[in-house]
Structure 1
Amino acid sequence: MHDGSGATAQLAEWVHGMQRATLDAAVAHQARRLVLDCLAATIAGSATPVAAAVRDLVAEMYPGEHARVVGGGRASAAGAALANGTAAHALDIDDGYTPGSVHPSAPTIPAVLAAAESTGAPADTVLRAVATAVEVTCRLARAAHPATREAGFHNTALAGVLGAAAGVSVVLGLDRADVVSALGVAGSHSGGLFEFLGSGAEVKRLHAGKAARDGLLSAHFARLGVSGPATVLEGTNGYFPAFARGAWRPADLLDGLGEQWALRDTYVKVHPCCRHLHGAIDALLELQAEHDLAAATAVRVETYSVAAAHAHTTFGSFIDAQMSLPFAVAVTLLDGEVGLPQFDEAHRASPAVAALAARVEVVAGAEFDARYPGERPARVTVHRAGRPSLSREVAQPRGEPSRPLDDEELTAKFRLLADPVLGAGRAAEVAAAVWAFDDIAAVMSELSDEQEGKSR
């Protein structure tokens, strides 16, 4: 059991060792899954207005030929990481890790891929870098969650920038001291406030892109001799004391590094909205498969406090709808499915959705708080006019390690998101190339040409 002393040095030692490590077959396979799912989110997200705005900014302020931008064109490696990281998180359909309440791939994989393109790194190095970046992000997030979230910080941006720096360090082959500095520099780029919640602000989308860009730059700063503090994580004014008020668990960061892989416990999103909404959605879908819920008059959702905080009933914007439990419950009951169409402008402006959402009660319960973050439990009770009420509880949403999507289902998700943007032929080629994972530049070249989809 670790006491946290020398945490930065221990983590950096492991990251440095990943430059020469041989990935276990199961870990390597999971890394491919992570890349495929991240690219699915990036391709679909590239068609959104916020991703288009970031691409315009990148073309203006980060010109270059080093790496491809999903949606069209090339840019500097930092610009590509910013654009692709933003697109990966633009629809909230990217993967996550429940113990850390974090999206680990969107802030890290775009940085690794951009660095790999710009340096010509071989595929096996890229795969090790992906595994490293996601693992560091998951472990950092879980070591301090929920303290960081309770302090108002978004773990995706907070931990993701250090994960990105770790992954790019592997691509660049930094020596041990420079890996320490890369993490140290990245610590000063950590940030991301949750004040966007319920405000309609799209800045959340930038959190992943900013982390990817800054993590990549942090590794390059270290390569060029810019030093960072060797105690950036555990020091008096370091990451954990600052962001978690010192409430962190060293064992969650350091125990089993390289043996017990957190990245194997990441989840795949089935619905394009905040993960805290998925338990209630899945419970309702299960009830709908067995009962007639057309006569529903009201719904009570009991869940853990972090999820219950998403109880706002204003959802004029896309992001507000994605973050609203009442909205999710309403569209689930009305449509019987929860995909991207359910979050469109017509649904957000629907009087029927608004009326039903107003009759959704969201309650935080101590019994659910005790199970989180090990689980994301939710219990829904549907009240029906003239008929008995129905209840269903879900401990974990679909896509969690205990309820996984297999490779065929993951590829189907990729095709569902990528086909409308790339076209079926190109999407199939990209999926096959990711599973093969022998030429990452060829994969990215398929994603940067003019796309068929239009901005949402």
Structure 2
Amino acid sequence: MADETRELAKFAAGFTYDQIPARVRSLALDLIVDQLGVEIGCSEMPWAKQVREVYRRNGGTPEATVVRYGERLPASSAALINSTFGHSFEYDDANPLTHGHLGAELVPSLMAIGEREHSSGRNFLTALVAAYEVRGRIGWAVSPNMLERGGPQYSTTCGPFGVATGVGKLLGLDAEGIRNALGVAGTFSGGLMQYDHGGGSVKRLFTAIGASSGIQAAHLAQGGITGPEGILEGARGLLRIYPSDYQPERLVADFGKQWMIDHLLFKPYSCCALIHPAIDALKKIITANDLKADGIESIEVGYPKGFYDHAAITSPKDLLGMQFSTSYTLAITVLKGRNTPREYTMEVLVDARIRALASKVRLWEDLGLDKYFEGHMPARVKVRTTSGAVHEELVIDAKGSMGAPFSSDEVDDKFRSQVADVFGAERCEKLLGVLRNIDTLDDVAKLPPMLVVKNGK
């Protein structure tokens, strides 16, 4: 077996800003805008406040800034808090090919270290692209079997490797240093997915756990701690331990030709990404046939085998459960007309109309969609009306994904929807201008103060 881990480390260490294709640069900027918008907009969720308070009390050397609130804490603590903000309400990016939430893993981690190290905007963006590529390829190599088997979760399993890569690059580690960081990151890799059956707010921290672990791994490697060779492809490496159909060749295949960031998905809906194509399909049916809730007899949703069990909660007990419930989410689509964070509340969870319509939703494993399992987000929706008519819609690529992409303008509009009410419209636009040109900053430490509320805005 080839030494793929070492090849990834060599790629990351040698990667330069000038090697970033224009398309990849644009997507990386979209990712930064999307993630920071969600961090600001979702930072007041109860679990986000709880995490912030825990690490605020712990204190420590003031190295990096907590988004929106402005506390300065150790870089690892700030990264963990900001990553929690960014993943706190299922509104952050996803990736149908690599799985996980790479923006919430990488952006807050590299921002915190970049602030502490006074990295240039060019170096920050270069580290982000390199880290995304390494992290994405690791997720691709263990896909799709790991999701189908029910875990472990991608952001806690693969995330530490990507973060260790990007942080290591910002710290100036050479290829051997990044290889050691990857080896150490393997010690932190893990994370169970029972949340998609049993709920629990700890799921909101999964990207943060990956972020914190990756930062620790890079720091330990910088300090001289060595990691085992072959941590990914070796006899007891990541790819051997979890899935049965691991594909190590994907770790290095078509470097410079196929970019993992091309496959990212920006979420228009605040729920599990696997439900998004069902929302898109249902909205098309509703619009085409002018349907209302009282005219719906039943809704059937077909998913590929690997998706089916990840979004099948039928009686959610909390908001996370509702966001992983196809039935409740589609009821919200019909009755509320949209699926933004504002629609996922405890009041909606106990709403009798939502519950009644949710009880009419049934899921099935659509074997015809299995061929789209990897790299797509498919769903087939059938709506039977009270008059006996049946309407069917198939969506292969959810809105916001590579097959139905967001434009940069749509990413900016989502950012405004999260930030303008917090910072005010004028300041929001100024911040957008800075983020769209982050690679022109001589010091990314100039950015975090712009992400903090001042004088009420």
- Whether 1:65 and 2:45 are equivalent positions in the alignment is no
Displacement after TM superposition at 1:361 (Å) = 0.7
**1:20/1:226 Cα in 2 relative to 1: closer, same or farther (>3 Å)?**
farther
Q: Distance in 1 between matches of 2:364 and 2:73?
A: 47
SS of 2:403's equivalent? Answer: coil
**1:447/1:376 Cα in 2 relative to 1: closer, same or farther (>3 Å)?**
same
Displacement after TM superposition at 1:379 (Å) = 1.1
Q: Which amino acid aligns with 2:395?
A: V
8 Å CA contact 2:196–2:313 kept in 1: the answer is no
Residue of structure 2 aligned with 1:33, choices 30, 39, 44: 30
Displacement after TM superposition at 1:20 (Å) = 6.7
Q: Distance in 2 between matches of 1:61 and 1:157?
A: 23
Displacement after TM superposition at 1:451 (Å) = 8.6
Q: Distance in 1 between matches of 2:26 and 2:312?
A: 38
- Whether 1:155 and 2:159 are equivalent positions in the alignment is no
Q: 1:123-142 counterparts in 2 under 5 A?
A: 123-142=121-140
- Whether 1:447 and 2:451 are equivalent positions in the alignment is yes
Residue 281 of structure 1: aligned partner: 279
Residue 206 of structure 1: aligned partner: 205
8 Å CA contact 1:115–1:168 kept in 2: the answer is yes
Residue 111 of structure 2: aligned partner: 113
Q: Distance in 2 between matches of 1:241 and 1:224?
A: 28
Q: Distance in 2 between matches of 1:420 and 1:63?
A: 31
Q: Distance in 1 between matches of 2:423 and 2:325?
A: 30
Q: Which amino acid aligns with 1:375?
A: H
Displacement after TM superposition at 1:267 (Å) = 1.2
Question: What percent of counterpart residues are identical?
Answer: 29
Q: 1:367-446 counterparts in 2 under 5 A?
A: 367-437=368-438, 438-439=440-441, 440-446=444-450
Residue 301 of structure 2: aligned partner: 301
SS of 2:421's equivalent? Answer: helix
Residue 93 of structure 2: aligned partner: 95
Q: Which amino acid aligns with 1:308?
A: Y
Residue 181 of structure 2: aligned partner: 182
The gaps in structure 1 that reach 5 residues or longer are: none
Residue 12 of structure 2: aligned partner: 15
SS of 1:108's equivalent? Answer: helix
Q: Deviations over 1:327-353 (max 9, x none)?
A: 111111112222122211111111111
The gaps in structure 2 that reach 5 residues or longer are: none
The CA RMSD over aligned residues, in Å, is 1.6
Q: Distance in 2 between matches of 1:274 and 1:451?
A: 35
Displacement after TM superposition at 1:142 (Å) = 1.1
Q: Distance in 1 between matches of 2:29 and 2:79?
A: 19
Residue 215 of structure 1: aligned partner: 214
Q: Distance in 2 between matches of 1:369 and 1:183?
A: 33
Displacement after TM superposition at 1:197 (Å) = 1.1
Q: Distance in 2 between matches of 1:415 and 1:357?
A: 31
Displacement after TM superposition at 1:22 (Å) = 3.2
Q: Judge which range, 19-28 or 385-394, deviates more.
A: 19-28
Q: Distance in 2 between matches of 1:258 and 1:172?
A: 24
Residue 172 of structure 1: aligned partner: 171
Q: Distance in 2 between matches of 1:160 and 1:45?
A: 21
Displacement after TM superposition at 1:280 (Å) = 0.6
Q: Deviations over 1:78-104 (max 9, x none)?
A: 011110111111011111110122211
Residue of structure 2 aligned with 1:252, choices 250, 256, 275: 250
Q: 1:314-353 counterparts in 2 under 5 A?
A: 314-353=315-354
Displacement after TM superposition at 1:450 (Å) = 5.4
Q: Deviations over 1:246-284 (max 9, x none)?
A: x21123221122332111221111101001100110001
Q: Distance in 2 between matches of 1:424 and 1:441?
A: 23
Q: Distance in 1 between matches of 2:396 and 2:381?
A: 12
Q: Distance in 2 between matches of 1:152 and 1:82?
A: 22
Q: Which amino acid aligns with 1:369?
A: D
Q: Which amino acid aligns with 1:434?
A: L
Q: Write out the 4+ residue segments of structure 1 that deviate beyond 4 Å after TM superposition.
A: 450-453
